[in-house]
Chain A
Amino acid sequence: MTPFTFARATSPEDAARLAALEGHRLLGGGTNLVDLMRKGVEHPTTLVDVTALSTEIIETARGGLLIGAATRNTALAAHPLVRTRYPVLSRAILAGASAQIRNMATVAGNILQRSRCAYFNDPAASRCNKRAPGSGCDAREGFNRYHAIIGGSPACISAHPSDMCVALVALDAQVHLLGMTGARTVPLAEFYRLPGDTPQIETVMAPGEIITAIELPPLPVAARSDYRKVRDRASYAFALVSVAACASVQDGVLTELRLAFGGIAPKPWRALHAEQALLGGPVTREAVFAAMDLELAEAAPLAGNAFKLELARRTAVAVLADLTGVTA
């Protein structure tokens, strides 16, 4: 491991200043970065501890929530307003990692966690364009069961590992950023970049920008929401497919819908096409399948992960059927 020093950011501005320096990396819970350093994937020269930054969860003037970047995952999942107004977020967080990891992990760290692709994490023996641009991708021909079926590129097919972010993207969450040139807000759905030819660039953040908070808009439909994760064991396993959904039904037709997927794409995948197709109609198995066919029309599955096409639409049926009380 490269030797490094340790600094503590005392304010968001301080953190942004330090983040802009060569070799500096922000350290939230450390649950991902410390491990990446052990594996030789990341080589920071200075770790900037940002856990002293805001851990507040406050109600915004328009009735949403502003969540400090350093809020622990456990605290966010347990917050009474999250549990009542945005249950999908609470459930998504609790479906991720383990209690210990959730106790450590921060909200911003969760958003910025790196790929869990086995090839990305194996600098000794594997090619990876995300880790070493231009070196190639061993996942395409290799073990790609956990990889993306949509949104990937010839350069990279790694899937975004977060559960929390799937819920956040369904909830239209906004990311508050602060950089040397000031503050700005970006919808989480637009925060991540698809890999294209530059899989090493994962977000729209400028160098030196930091996440200061996540904002949830008021969203009454989110009171009726759920998260469903299909995985290989009961806890502490990444999603094969996960679904976050908020839905309301009147007179048998969907009047409002938010739908997002995890485990299938390089970013938490908001299914706008499927939402559009389903709105105004009944929740039936056929309708969901047709909507998902639209949503996944651009999918490019590989031998090891083609099962996700079917699994994604079936999981969507299961979640929407549960949420709307309709036997799809």
Chain B
Amino acid sequence: MNQPGRFATLTVNGRAIAATGDPARRLSDFLREEAGLRGTKSGCDAGDCGACTVIADGAAVCACLMPVGRLAGARVTTVEGLADAPGEAGTLSRLQSAFLRHGAAQCGICTPGMLTAAAALLAKKPRPTEAEAEVALGGVLCRCTGYRKILAAVCDAWREDVPEAPLAPGAAVGARVRRLDGVPKVTGADRFGADEWPEGALLLKAVRSPHFHAGFHFGDISAWKAARPGVAAIFTAADIPGRNRFGVIPAFADQPALAEGTARLRGEAVALVAFEPGAEPDLTDFPVTWQPLPYLLDPAEAEAEGAQLVHQGRPGNHLITGRVRRGDAAAALAASTHVVQGSMETAFVEHAYIEPEAGSAWMEGEVLCIRACTQAPVMDRDETAAILGLPPERVRVLPTAVGGGFGSKLDVSLQPLLGLAVLKTGRPARMVYTRAESMTSTTKRHPARITAQIGCDADGHVTALSFDGLFDTGAYASWGPTVANRVPVHATGPYRTPAVLARARAIHTHGPSGGAFRGFGVPQAALAQETLYDQLADLAGIDRLEFRLRNAFVEGDATATGQVLHGTGIHDCLTALAPHWTRALAEAAAANAAPGHLRRGVGVASCWYGCGNTSLPNPSTIRLGLTPEGTLVLHQGAMDIGQGANTVITQICADALGLPVEAFTLVGPDTFLTPDAGKTSASRQTYVSGRAAQAAGAALRAQILRLAGLNGAASLRLEAAAVVVEGETSHRVDLAALPPNPHGYALMAEETYDPPTAPLDADGQGTPYAVYGYGAQMVELEVDTELGTVRLLKITAAHDLGRVINPTLAEGQTEGGIAQGIGLALMEEYIPGRTENLHDYLIPTIGDVPPIESLLIERADPEGPFGAKGLGEHVLIPTAPAILNAVRHATGVTITRVPLLPHRLRAAILAKGAP
């Protein structure tokens, strides 16, 4: 019998390792904590996500479900062991190279699991079919890529990699540059929130409310602590030195870091326990008594008269209403030839990034340092400082790699808790959320109930829209105000609509906080508007694509807020779909000619999305410096959460400066080292930080040319301690001879860009965004009308990026957004208290995403860097409505609620009177 303390020896990546301690320990924990192999990730500890996949005796297994004691004598391969020549740094396997070549790693958190699962397959089948690869990878979840590039990389991994050829200066923009931060993602060397912590760090665990709404009081905390030598300290709200309220929008800040007497949210933290390193973090019998209180989970009930208030001072549980009014929508609808009206209901949607919130913190002198995954380092710094009563300059935020964010990692989560423990104990601390903690306590996409009416004239020109949206903003404000303001602006879709009355109100309940999630409410609004467009086109007797083309914005059109548009690419996107549309309709008609229960359908939907904050400043600053030694340093503060900011910002800067991408050394993000490049949200980084990077590159170039006395046509070359400038004549700028500035640079440029917007008035009239991006997607699918199931066949996505900075990354964003749109349409429904894990909450797997054809359109925007626009959120918006439109085309059934689970589709088919 193996007893704790006995040895088991296993071979990991060819090295024999003696396992001591607890034989029942998870292999994933053993690899990460004892063997120091942190390339193996823990996403759920339940076998649901596959991030911890390793190869044990030739078979891919979930390390989180494997007790290490079981592996005596076994041979285990982790991601660190996949390189062709173990121990020879820099030698990637063909599979790893294929991942880089195809852009198959975005955030990189699922990459180790994908690679090991694929390597186990390739060992048996070096050239697998797509179907074989789908089976092998079906248990590894990815939330970023949409899987298509992973599938392509695995099936292409037999091929020898041809390294990238160097690009000529000025040719970076538009090139398929491989991710600059890609190699550590495929070797397992990348460090995410849970992967690094200072020696001796305390391990923090939060005590959380199991109730939707409950009062609570503590028993004898000191006695509980005294009986447990592993407990170093316990904190409650009473220990918080600053303002125990946070919120991304200061005027609405309402969320405590640790609740005070009442918990308004299932999963809300009420106390924090710091455990000594090595101690079992056991919260059993923690002395807290709950008094469950009546709760509200239905926003309609919550806004009804007499409902209890989630927050005092917010009557009717009303957080905010956003409104856009232009013309007289009611009169215009009454005068319209055709009018459709309908409703749409959506569910809570969980971000389901594979990396739960994680990080560590420590003191460096007077400065609190926080390393955690985030989308918004400067906001984290300011909110944490305020909660802890520190000036912001005493908090340094050093983000880790981020294993997916999609909006939820804009809000602080564990940062104030880490800071509190470190500040109070003076000792370093670390914290890793469990999957359940991550799902219960962080934000969700707002569930929406929308009613709308749209009219058109006899020629199919849209006349008016009236739109009313009720958004469940849950327990705390988070980004509720942003959603309420953004939705009415976008409610028309990218179409000329002369008369508009659009309102969106955010109502509190005791559900999860509605926050930022890719699209800020616009995907919900588009579901309502785009499905009504299909009905309206049918009424008017016009082809559905033609109807959209007829109404799509063109250059110089005015939006519902009265803004005149430039760089308007929606018409181009719809036009690009036209040949695909004709083909798809013909194929569907041919397939449907025979009777049967399998019916083909084709659907289309559009999107538009304003890049950056709505009528609020959101500047980015980028610094670029040349050291006296000739090192070119880009202070890149725009968080790369997988979307590719590190690469794209560098590509833009490189071409503005005139030096190749390989010449750049990237620093940051780090609030001590990088200027504020704002948050990674609202599809703003390529556009806003890109503009700042372009300006910084141009400014540094101008300085160099001035020193060389040459004009703009010159080419630059870096040499040791010098820049060589070649124009009509050749000059050598001696960097070592220049006096370094306070940052240590011989030459430096720092530039800020803030989008030119104008406030919205009471009727929502104004210029909320400087730049919009556009897109349209076409879905082909097959419905089994007997079973109510939907099989996606192909998605064709045309998106106007203004200027494509990096086609591989753009396609990756598109495919990933589409996968999330598929989830929104067909399967994702977060039910508080019931779906707090990744086997009850379903996100698309590799088999759920059909082939995707991306059509990248370039209608340059005058504001964007090299004409570029944002893309990240746009790509999710059209997918779900295009799916519903295709289902309607296939079956004749109008869908008014998502997700369209099989039983709902079947019920709708039955309700329409089918057999």
Are B839 and A51 interface neighbours, CB within 8 A?
no
Are B62 and A101 interface neighbours, CB within 8 A?
yes
Compute how far the CA of A5 lies from the CA of B826 in the bound complex, rounded to whole angstroms.
Answer: 44
Name the A residues within 8 Å of B139 (CB-CB): 97-101, 235-236
Name the B residues within 8 Å of A310 (CB-CB): 906, 910
Are B834 and A5 interface neighbours, CB within 8 A?
no
Q: Which residue of A lies closest to B434 (CB)?
A: A38
Are A99 and B842 interface neighbours, CB within 8 A?
no
Name the A residues within 8 Å of B23 (CB-CB): 5-6
Are A6 and B24 interface neighbours, CB within 8 A?
yes
Q: Which of A98, A232, A237 is close to B50, meaning CB atoms less than 8 Å apart?
A: A98
Are A235 and B847 interface neighbours, CB within 8 A?
yes
- Whether A190 is near chain B, meaning CB under 8 Å from some CB there, is no
Are A30 and B66 interface neighbours, CB within 8 A?
yes
Name the B residues within 8 Å of A51 (CB-CB): 70
Name the B residues within 8 Å of A317 (CB-CB): 786
Name the B residues within 8 Å of A100 (CB-CB): 47, 50, 53, 60-62, 117, 139-140
Q: How large is the interface on A (under 10, 10 to 19, 20 to 34, 35 or more residues)?
A: 35 or more
Are B842 and A233 interface neighbours, CB within 8 A?
yes
Task: Give the distance to chain A from B387, nearest Cβ to Cβ, in Å.
Answer: 28
Compute how far the CA of A317 lies from the CA of B596 in the bound complex, rounded to whole angstroms.
Answer: 13
- Whether A8 is near chain B, meaning CB under 8 Å from some CB there, is yes
- Whether B481 is near chain A, meaning CB under 8 Å from some CB there, is no
Task: Give the distance to chain A from B773, nearest Cβ to Cβ, in Å.
Answer: 29
Task: Give the distance to chain B from A213, nearest Cβ to Cβ, in Å.
Answer: 21
Name the A residues within 8 Å of B839 (CB-CB): 116, 236-238
Q: Which residue of A lies closest to B113 (CB)?
A: A100
Name the B residues within 8 Å of A17 (CB-CB): none
Are B2 and A7 interface neighbours, CB within 8 A?
yes
Q: Which residue of B lies closest to A104 (CB)?
A: B61
- Whether A103 is near chain B, meaning CB under 8 Å from some CB there, is yes
Are B827 and A47 interface neighbours, CB within 8 A?
no
- Whether B65 is near chain A, meaning CB under 8 Å from some CB there, is yes
- Whether A196 is near chain B, meaning CB under 8 Å from some CB there, is no
Name the A residues within 8 Å of B117 (CB-CB): 99-100
Are A235 and B907 interface neighbours, CB within 8 A?
no
Task: Give the distance to chain A from B628, nearest Cβ to Cβ, in Å.
Answer: 53
Are B60 and A99 interface neighbours, CB within 8 A?
yes
Name the A residues within 8 Å of B906 (CB-CB): 307, 310-311
Are B787 and A318 interface neighbours, CB within 8 A?
yes
Q: How large is the interface on B (under 10, 10 to 19, 20 to 34, 35 or more residues)?
A: 35 or more
Q: Which residue of A lies closest to B786 (CB)?
A: A314
Q: Which residue of B lies closest to A40 (CB)?
A: B284
Task: Give the distance to chain B from A316, nearest Cβ to Cβ, in Å.
Answer: 11
Considering only residues 1-37 of chain B, those with a C-beta below 8 Å from chain A are 1-4, 23-24, 26
Are B47 and A35 interface neighbours, CB within 8 A?
yes
Are B789 and A230 interface neighbours, CB within 8 A?
yes
Compute how far the CA of A4 lies from the CA of B901 in the bound complex, rounded to whole angstroms.
Answer: 42
Q: Which of A99, A104, A315 is close to B136, meaning CB atoms less than 8 Å apart?
A: A99
Name the A residues within 8 Å of B46 (CB-CB): 35, 38
Compute how far the CA of A10 lies from the CA of B24 in the bound complex, rounded to whole angstroms.
Answer: 18
- Whether A41 is near chain B, meaning CB under 8 Å from some CB there, is no
Compute how far the CA of A278 lies from the CA of B46 in the bound complex, rounded to whole angstroms.
Answer: 42
Task: Give the distance to chain B from A105, nearest Cβ to Cβ, in Å.
Answer: 9
Given that A5-B4, A101-B47, A232-B902 are known contacts, is A124 also in contact with B210, CB under 8 Å in the complex?
yes
- Whether A255 is near chain B, meaning CB under 8 Å from some CB there, is no
Are A99 and B834 interface neighbours, CB within 8 A?
no
Are B138 and A236 interface neighbours, CB within 8 A?
yes
Name the B residues within 8 Å of A125 (CB-CB): 210-211, 833
- Whether B135 is near chain A, meaning CB under 8 Å from some CB there, is yes
Compute how far the CA of A29 lies from the CA of B4 in the bound complex, rounded to whole angstroms.
Answer: 20
Are B2 and A230 interface neighbours, CB within 8 A?
no
Considering only residues 896-915 of chain B, those with a C-beta below 8 Å from chain A are 901-903, 906-907, 910
Residue-wise interface mask of A (104-118) relative to B, using a CB-CB cutoff of 8 A (1 in contact, 0 not): 100000000000101
Considering only residues 140-169 of chain A, those with a C-beta below 8 Å from chain B are 142-143, 145
Residue-wise interface mask of B (204-235) relative to A, using a CB-CB cutoff of 8 A (1 in contact, 0 not): 00000011000000000000000000000000
- Whether B514 is near chain A, meaning CB under 8 Å from some CB there, is no
Name the A residues within 8 Å of B59 (CB-CB): 72, 74, 103-104
Q: Which residues of B contact A (CB under 8 A)?
A: 1-4, 23-24, 26, 45-48, 50, 53, 59-62, 64-67, 69-70, 117, 134-140, 210-211, 784, 786-789, 826-827, 831, 833-835, 839-840, 842-848, 901-903, 906-907, 910
10 additional A-B residue pairs with CB within 8 Å, beyond A103-B61, A233-B842 = A27-B67, A30-B67, A30-B70, A34-B67, A49-B67, A99-B139, A100-B62, A124-B210, A142-B834, A145-B903
A–B complex contacts, Cβ < 8 Å, 17 sampled: A6-B23, A47-B67, A49-B70, A94-B135, A100-B50, A100-B61, A100-B139, A103-B59, A104-B65, A116-B839, A232-B902, A233-B842, A233-B848, A234-B848, A236-B845, A311-B788, A314-B787
